[in-house]
């Protein structure tokens, strides 16, 4: 993931090139291959290059077509052949091997701000139109590539790295208490348009932004579709169509010499690995495929090593394992290199850093199986209601009879619903009593906690897949993508998600959920003979235990007493009400009890990072 940053002065004050070069220097960890800075009066872009596709090998950014349009981008496009054909039909002379940033510029030259309606892939970019004096910015459909911005007085700043914006002297350090309140309640900020800093905003997924003398304008250019049901007369056509789309999605993400697979040994990541291996073996530009798995050998019961190794041997993919048993609470909390742009609800985050460190010497690109679980979240009753509403009585009778025949008796579901009914939902942690009273009252935290706890998934208009449809807009996605981004990890490794290819998403949201999403039959049928049979039919298997709870049980919480307390934390936390995690807490309660300590460490690292960055800027 390359680094991008830009400055625009709406009052026509010239951009200070030295400051922009300092920002580019700071972003060098994201892009070690090349660095470019461009200024023209009141506008300036900088870029640090991480080459992760064949087309990017000779790419230079910031880039321009004719001196009128300039771009700085962290982008990887899908469906390039179709887009190039469309551009050429519109009269643009686009090279076959043009880098993705150049293709985006051609798209903007034709369609202007509506170019995003023609783009597929993962992207975060800004385009300056010298003729109209307009800055146009966009973020991809799911927010896989980050984009942050600041509008302070006449200054507009943007970057795909939050801490880069904090380096600018005009950006205040004031915190956003609403985001901190959300973090303490839920472990993340539920507002996709804000960050933990008052002045720094987040461009939400599937949004574009235009900034000019007339002001700032946001536009949502895409929402997950709710119409267009696909019905085939032959059930094999559903599988064939899905296989074609998955192959296209993986192919578009293999445009590089070496790719890693985050291989858990489950169905989703194993399927991605199998398709990647097949595509690479048939391509004229073969890709070296490698597997990476994080495992627990003793802390909890974990069979991921066994299954991942079996998949690796079956597909002839070399495997590399990272053991996480030794990672303890807040390991490396005082390491200046482990500085997080925002609070992270992960006391064992050092294990994730170890995994990234293990991958980065071998691969710049890794593929993940995330997304399939959400998109194939099975719900029968909305589907049955839709058939009843549409008068499809014969189909309704047939589908319900088949469903009731194959469905296991829901003992666990009955038990869970009963416990919720009597107020004993064991997955809930309860409203935290250690919140500072004035802070909680000022921000109405208890009503917010109650509302989001009772309705964690937003309402959806999708007639048969409401939960899967609504899940695509949850802030947990943005949080996950940004946590795995080099802006947090400090390692130049780009994660790609084939199941979140827009073509696959649109297809799955148009399918009848039964039988295809029941126990993920569509994916299991598509993978017949392509992965080990034991893995193909393996039920969905979460970790057999909570690593955080197990670590607390094994080593206790003495480490918490060694961490100094930030004075700023007293604004948010009543220290006397804190309860250290213990054996009788469930996993959700252990996690919630440690959030004040996560925030405490972040407040100290945020202050340290700001001092370090400003010192570097003054020295530069």
Residue 424: CATH number of its domain: 3.40.50.620
Asked if residue 432 belongs to a domain, the reply is yes
Give me the residue label for tokens 């350090």.
173
Residue 181, burial from CB neighbour count under 10 angstroms (0-12, 13-18, 19+): buried
Q: Is the residue at 401 inside a domain?
A: no
Collect the ranges in the chain with pLDDT lower than 50. Answer: 411-425, 611-615, 617-620
193 and 122 share a domain?
yes
| Residue 472 lies inside a defined structural domain of this protein | yes
Which residues, in sequence order, are bridge partners of residue 290? 260
Q: Are residues 148 and 120 in the same domain?
A: yes
Question: Both 275 and 346 in a single domain?
Answer: yes
Q: Within a domain: residue 564?
A: yes
Same domain, 25 and 112: yes
Count of CB atoms situated within 10 Å of the CB of 363? 23
Residue 343 in tokens = 């609070």
Q: What are phi and psi of 245, to 5 degrees?
A: -65, -40
What the block records as the tokens of 478 is 């943005």
pLDDT of residue 497: 97
The whole-number pLDDT of residue 562 equals 86
- Say what the pLDDT of residue 269 is: 96
Choosing from 220, 237, 258, the residue where a domain stops is: 220
Domain count, the chain: 2
201 and 232 in one domain? no
Single residue among 199, 220, 241 that ends a domain in this structure: 220
Same domain, 182 and 259: no
DSSP codes joined into one string, 493-512:
-EEE-GGG-HHHHHHHTTS-
Q: What is the rounded CA–CA span in Å between residue 276 and residue 419?
A: 43
Same domain, 59 and 79: yes
Structure confidence at residue 609 (pLDDT) = 52
In a domain, 405, yes or no: no
Largest CA distance in the chain: 76
Task: Please give the residue range of the domain that contains residue 311.
Answer: 228-379+410-620
Instruction: Report whether 74 contacts 160 (CB < 8 A).
Output: yes
Over the stretch 2-17, which tens digit does the pLDDT of each residue have? 999 999 999 999 999 9
Of how many residues is the chain composed?
Answer: 620
The answer to whether residues 508 and 553 belong to one domain is yes
Give me the pLDDT at residue 422, please. 41
Q: What is the pTM of this model?
A: 0.94
The full DSSP string for 159-194 is ES-HHHHHTSTTS---B-HHHHHHHHHHSS-S-TTB
One domain for residues 512 and 575? yes
Residue 269 contacts residue 368 (beta carbons within 8 Å): yes
Which secondary structure element, helix H or strand E, spans residue 39, and what is its range?
strand 34-40
Q: Are residues 180 and 242 in the same domain?
A: no
Backbone angles phi, psi at 567, to 5 degrees: -60, -30
Q: Is residue 403 part of a domain?
A: no
Q: Are residues 153 and 64 in the same domain?
A: yes
The answer to the question of residue 560 being in a domain is yes
- CA atoms of 335 and 462, how far apart (whole Å): 47
Token pair 């009753």 in the structure block, residue: 381
The DSSP symbol for 301 reads B
Give the C-alpha separation, 350 to 43, whole Å.
39
Judged on CB neighbours under 10 Å (0-12, 13-18, 19+), 23 is buried
Domain final residue, candidates 220, 244, 278: 220
Residue 295 lies in a domain: yes
The reported pLDDT for the residue numbered 423 is: 44
417 and 470 assigned to the same domain: yes
Token code pair at residue 43:
């506008």
For 490, the 3-state DSSP assignment is coil
- With a CB cutoff of 8 Å and minimum separation 6, the contacts of 245 are 501, 503, 504, 507
What residues are paired with 289 via a beta bridge? 259
196: CATH: 3.60.20.10
Q: What is the predicted pLDDT for the residue at 175?
A: 96
């Amino acid at each position: 993931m390359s680094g991008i940053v830009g400055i625009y002065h709406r009052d026509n004050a010239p951009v200070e090139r030295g400051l922009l070069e300092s920002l580019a220097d700071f972003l060098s960890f994201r892009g070690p291959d090349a660095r470019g800075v461009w200024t023209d009066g009141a506008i300036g872009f900088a870029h640090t290059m991480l080459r992760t596709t064949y087309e990017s090998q000779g790419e230079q950014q910031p880039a321009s077509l004719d001196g009128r349009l300039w771009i700085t981008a962290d982008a990887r496009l899908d469906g390039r052949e179709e887009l190039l054909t469309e551009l050429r039909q519109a009269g643009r002379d686009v090279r076959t091997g043009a880098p993705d940033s150049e293709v985006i510029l051609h798209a903007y030259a034709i369609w202007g701000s509506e170019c995003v309606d023609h783009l597929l892939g993962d992207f975060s970019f800004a385009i300056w139109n010298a003729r109209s004096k307009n800055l146009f910015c966009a973020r991809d459909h799911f927010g896989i590539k980050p984009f942050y911005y600041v509008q302070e007085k006449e200054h507009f700043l943007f970057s795909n790295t939050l801490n880069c914006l904090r380096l600018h002297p005009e950006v205040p350090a004031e915190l956003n208490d609403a985001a901190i309140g959300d973090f303490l309640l839920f472990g993340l900020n539920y507002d996709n348009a804000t960050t933990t800093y008052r002045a720094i905003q987040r461009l939400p997924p599937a949004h574009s932004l235009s900034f000019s003398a007339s002001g700032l304008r946001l536009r949502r250019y895409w929402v997950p579709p709710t119409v267009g049901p696909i019905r085939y007369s032959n059930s094999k056509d559903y599988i064939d169509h899905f296989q074609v789309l998955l192959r296209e999605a993986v192919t578009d993400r293999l445009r590089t010499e070496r790719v890693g697979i985050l291989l858990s040994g489950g169905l989703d990541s194993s399927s991605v690995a199998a398709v990647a291996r097949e595509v690479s073996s048939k391509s004229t530009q073969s890709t070296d495929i490698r597997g990476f798995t994080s495992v627990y050998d003793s802390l909890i019961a974990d069979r991921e090593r066994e299954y991942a190794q079996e998949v690796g041997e079956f597909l002839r993919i070399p495997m590399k394992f990272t053991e996480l048993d030794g990672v303890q609470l807040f390991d490396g909390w005082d390491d200046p290199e482990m500085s997080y742009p925002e609070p992270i609800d992960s006391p064992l985050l050092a294990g994730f850093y170890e995994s990234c460190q293990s991958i980065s010497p071998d691969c710049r690109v890794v593929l993940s199986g995330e997304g399939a679980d959400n998109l194939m979240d099975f719900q029968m009753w909305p589907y049955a209601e839709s058939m009843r509403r549409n008068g499809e009585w014969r189909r309704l009778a047939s589908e319900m009879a088949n469903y009731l025949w194959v469905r296991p008796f829901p003992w666990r579901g009955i038990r869970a619903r009963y416990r919720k009914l009597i107020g004993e939902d064991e997955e809930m942690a309860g409203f935290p009593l250690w919140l500072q009273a004035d802070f909680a009252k000022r921000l109405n935290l208890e009503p917010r906690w109650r509302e989001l706890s009772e309705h964690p998934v937003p309402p959806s208009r999708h007639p048969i897949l409401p939960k899967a449809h609504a899940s695509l807009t949850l802030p947990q996605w943005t949080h996950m993508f940004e946590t795995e981004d080099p802006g947090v990890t400090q390692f130049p490794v780009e994660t790609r998600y084939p199941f979140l290819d827009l073509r696959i998403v649109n297809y799955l949201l148009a399918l009848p959920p039964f039988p295809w999403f029941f126990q993920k039959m569509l994916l299991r049928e598509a993978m017949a003979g392509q992965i080990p049979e034991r893995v193909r039919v393996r039920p969905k298997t979460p970790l057999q235990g909570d690593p955080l709870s197990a670590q607390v049980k094994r080593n206790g919480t003495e480490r918490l007493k060694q961490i100094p307390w930030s004075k700023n934390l007293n604004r948010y936390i009543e220290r006397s009400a804190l309860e250290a995690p213990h054996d009788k807490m469930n996993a959700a309660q252990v996690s919630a009890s440690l959030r004040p300590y996560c925030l405490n460490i972040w407040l100290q690292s945020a202050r340290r990072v700001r001092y370090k960055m400003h010192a570097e800027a003054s020295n530069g």
